[in-house]
Amino acid sequence: MPASIIDSSIFGNIFGTAAMRQVWSDENRTAKYLEIEAALAKVQGRLGIIPQKAADEIVRNCRIENIDMEKLRQQTERIGYPILGVVQQLVEKCADGLGEWCHWGATTQDITDTATVLQIREALAIIEQDLATISQSMADIAKKHRDTPMIGRSNLQQAVPVTFGYKMAGLLSAIERHRERLSQLRPRVLTGEFAGAAGTLASLEKGALETQEGLMRELGLAQPLIAWHTIRDNIAETGGFLGLVCGTLGKLSMDVKLMMQTEVGEVYEPFAHGRGSSSTMPQKRNPISSCYIHACASVVRQHSAALLDAMIADHERSTGPWEIEWIVLPEAFVLTAGALNQSKFVLAGLEVDAKRMRDNLDLTNGLVVSEAVMMGLAPYLGREHAHDLVYDLCRDAIKLNKPLLELLAGNAEITKHVNRNKLAELCDPSNYLGLSGVMVDRVLAARK
């Protein structure tokens, strides 16, 4: 029975997706082993390294339905690795002893690593599509709310006005960088492995590099310059990429959670009857998806660190670090897919309360525009004096619970230079948005 959260029949589609689990399933991994063995036989038959008749027979039998998965489990538990079990079953299926030519010149890690790369290729294609969907949703929100004023926050305190479009465009800019990173890492990561026991291809007397080159061409992978059995930066880079993607999604979830607080109420996750409700408090509307995104992102970050640990491998074939990847890489991908899926849901139906955003801008009776007032008065009073004067008036506004505008308009030193109408303009948060809209436009234009 499933014991992991990502394979749970109850939680599995909350913390992951069926498509990503299929990529990292036993069946798909084993099918990749067979795909590689078939490609190897095909290439070696063409090169005359093994008899063509043997190559044809091996290719004919490299089908997942020919593998007894229960028997493979038993073989793997006995041997320690599944590759030999797959080869043994394949040899048994081939007629006339032709299966003995299977796996010619290869080693367990060649097949395992190349299968992992093939799985990574499938997994990255899923992530690429999800990032594109999220990018479009963020772009739509940023464009729609380009000029929707809201409070910007620093240290969880109200700071200065921004727009909601600006906030979303900042996240969008990171998603676009992740899409760029994905295209950049593919040539490095999607490189196969065929190098033999210690990576020198000594097991093939002739046609070694030709076999390697042909195999990679058959599989659509890059040919390695040298064996990478214990040089694992490509896998660690993949984990780092997943960690970065989840970091951005975690930032999205954190802001949504904070903005969904009752006292804030500026955005809400999409409504569905009963979603986020409490077993005891009927009024609750909890940020369910954001909680799951946060949890996935936190665990993927730890898995990324584990893949860095796996880089510290001994000699030409390692004793343990390699197996770290088997544990954490599938789970990192599945959890990333879960975080992406939950983020797609949140963004596709995000409820934005522009009125509440404006109300929150007015909570402090104008204090959030004190910087605007200071800068507006600086040409007349000098920056330092304007700062000190506005600072004192802000303290008075808090103490007397009065709008800052009233105190400004009642100060003779100020009204000698600036009338009430001008002061009212300075105290309107929607007039102090800086280049929020321009920056939104820049991000959207760069995306196109």
Structural domains of the chain in order of their starting residue, each with its CATH number:
13-106+205-227 (1.10.275.10), 125-149+162-193+230-352+438-448 (1.20.200.10), 359-437 (1.10.40.30)
Element (H, E) at 351: strand 351-352
- The token pair that represents 281 in the structure block: 């408090």
**pLDDT lower than 70: segments of the chain:** 274-284
How big is the chain by its Cα radius of gyration, in Å? 30
| Active-site residue (options: 317, 356, 420, 447) | 317
pLDDT digits over 153-210, tens only? 999 999 999 999 999 999 999 999 999 999 999 999 999 999 999 999 999 989 999 9
Sequence-ordered strand ranges (E) for 135-200: 149-154, 157-163
Cα 267 to chain center, whole Å?
23
Q: What is the pLDDT of residue 274?
A: 63
pLDDT digits (tens, 9 = 90+) for 82-120: 999 999 999 999 999 999 999 999 999 999 999 999 999
Q: Is-contact 38 93, C-beta < 8 A?
A: no
pLDDT score, position 280: 65
What is the predicted pLDDT for the residue at 448?
73
Catalytic pick among 73, 278, 383, 395: 278
- Is 37 in contact with 112 (CB distance < 8 Å)? no
Amino acid identity of 351? Answer: E
pLDDT for position 275: 65
278 as an active site residue: the answer is yes
Give me the pLDDT at residue 1, please: 82
Q: How far apart are CA 95 and CA 18, in angstroms?
A: 37
Look at residue 271 in the predicted model and tell me its pLDDT: 81
For the chain, what is the mean pLDDT?
95
| Joined tokens for residue 255 | 């802001």
Report pLDDT for 279.
Answer: 59
Report in angstroms the alpha-carbon separations of 373 from 251, 360, 394, 401, 408: 32, 19, 11, 18, 9
What pLDDT score does 276 carry? 60
- The answer to whether the pTM exceeds 0.85 is yes
130 C-beta neighbours (distance < 10 Å), count: 21
- Per-residue model confidence (pLDDT) at position 277: 56
